[in-house]
Amino acid sequence: MNRTIAPPIKDAVDFDIKLKPYEQFKLDNGIPVYVMKSDEQDTLQLELVFPAGSWYESESLEAAATNFLMKNGTSKHTAQEINESIDYHGAYLNRNAYHENATYTLHCLTKHTEVLLPVLQEVIQDPIFPEEELNLYKQNQKQKLAVNLLKCDFVANRFIDKYLFGEFHPYGRVSSMMAYDALQSESLHAFYRKHYTYNNCKIFIAGNLPANIIPLLNQYFGTTQWNGDTHLVKLDLPIQPAEEKKFRIFNDENGVQGAVRVARHFPNRYHPDFPKMLVLNTIFGGYFGSRLMSNIREEKGYTYGIYSQLYNFRQTSALNIQTEAGRDVCEATIDEIYKELLRLQNEPVPQEELDLVRNYMIGSILGDLDGAFQLIQRWKNLILNDLDENYFYNNIKTIKTITAEELQQLAKQYFTPGDFYELVVI
């Protein structure tokens, strides 16, 4: 046996990836339910999604506070009683507010579904936002913020989004002590009544489902027009990018590392360049073997890790390179980032590297589609963005067929150093 010779492999282009379809139901009041069944385990995941993200705020932090506090008291039960019934059944009820949407997600053993649905119903349809819970929330969030503001990476993330989108745009707006202080129970309640309505609700459910799951969902979410009809209008908002491009901030005199961010605007996922950029970005800084990692971590040892990412925001996206590097090598890191950008502009990606990235990306998608929870996640992202499986298949096709010339062309268009914002927070 010759150990220097790699065993033969099956290439990415030969994998036929199929996105397993979901089943769709409608509750009696019209709420759509997207279902991905799998009976291999005794667990399920139930997610309710509402257009209730920071986009719709009239006061900063309204969306996050509303989302958080819905679980902390209803007209029938206190926060503690709600937590107790969820914990007693070993379930997890997570909530999240993003830029566009806000979610409530229940994870539980299938056998407990029936007793947990009424709890979820109460949280979604009958929260009362007690004054005491709000005050506690403000106090604890402010304390958390005070700690986070000492971290260079946290501070850098806030600033780079502000430079890209402007502090008045939902994508660039950040939390503050003042904004927490200004939160009021009545306005949270009003935000809740407007956004968490039956006609704005979508339900995604996956895993091993009780046979009567649809009747159950109907019983708790489908019979009434809870919170009434609201029709939300979502228009694009103008972004206000910073005029300056280079920023250096000293946040901690004794800091031994700096948070480096290098970022530029990029069109959203509906633009034909987006799927192509997913490939170019992977080559550049999207996986462990990327140009940035190979050079700045594996060759120079400036950092524990460096990555570039494409934002998944709806209106407009951005390309953001981020790392924490040794204090004395932050500037050298930025130089190397620019060198790598220019290298992709000036030289075509070698065939072997392109093949490797294709295979890596396809293998990674194959792994991501493993299991009902992951599949419904993939579908949810398509559905919430008004896309269908064709978008997914088109991305796969791009990965399999994009050429080195196309990638170089793309780099020439988007990888010009002068177009990037750069920031170091020490």
| List of residues contacting another protein (CB under 8 A) | 1, 3-4, 6-7, 9-10, 12, 15, 40-43, 79-80, 83-84, 86-92, 107-109, 136, 139-140, 143-144, 146-147, 149-152, 252, 254-257, 287-289, 297-304, 324-326, 355-357, 359-360, 362-364, 366-367, 370-371, 373
Tokens standing for residue 277 = 């950029």
- Closest to another protein by CB, 254 or 390: 254
Shortest CB 267 distance to another protein, Å: 28
Shortest CB 360 distance to another protein, Å: 4
Shortest CB 247 distance to another protein, Å: 19
- Closest to another protein by CB, 25 or 287: 287
CA atoms within 13 A on the CB side of 89: 23
Shortest CB 76 distance to another protein, Å: 17
Q: What whole-number distance in Å separates Cα of residue 100 and Cα of residue 279? A: 25
- Closest to another protein by CB, 79 or 278: 79
Of the candidates 320, 318, 349, 321, the one whose C-alpha atom is nearest the C-alpha of residue 333 is 321
- Closest to another protein by CB, 5 or 235: 5
Burial code of 382-395, b = ≥16 C-beta within 10 A, e = fewer?
Answer: bbbeeeeeebbeeb
Instruction: Let me know: does 78 contact 122? Beta carbons within 8 Å.
Output: no
352 exposure class (CB count in 10 Å sphere: 0-12, 13-18, 19+): exposed
* Phi and psi angles of residue 296, each rounded to the nearest 5 degrees, phi first: -85, -30
Of the candidates 352, 351, 375, the one whose C-alpha atom is nearest the C-alpha of residue 365 is 375
Shortest CB 51 distance to another protein, Å: 27
- Closest to another protein by CB, 87 or 335: 87
Instruction: Let me know: does 283 contact 251? Beta carbons within 8 Å.
Output: no
Shortest CB 377 distance to another protein, Å: 13
Shortest CB 262 distance to another protein, Å: 18
CA 266, 269, 275: angle at the middle one, nearest 5?
Answer: 90
- Closest to another protein by CB, 99 or 297: 297
> 388 CB contacts (<8 Å, ≥6 apart)?
382
> 230 CB contacts (<8 Å, ≥6 apart)?
194, 195, 197, 199, 200
Shortest CB 362 distance to another protein, Å: 6
- Closest to another protein by CB, 5 or 233: 5
- Closest to another protein by CB, 215 or 366: 366
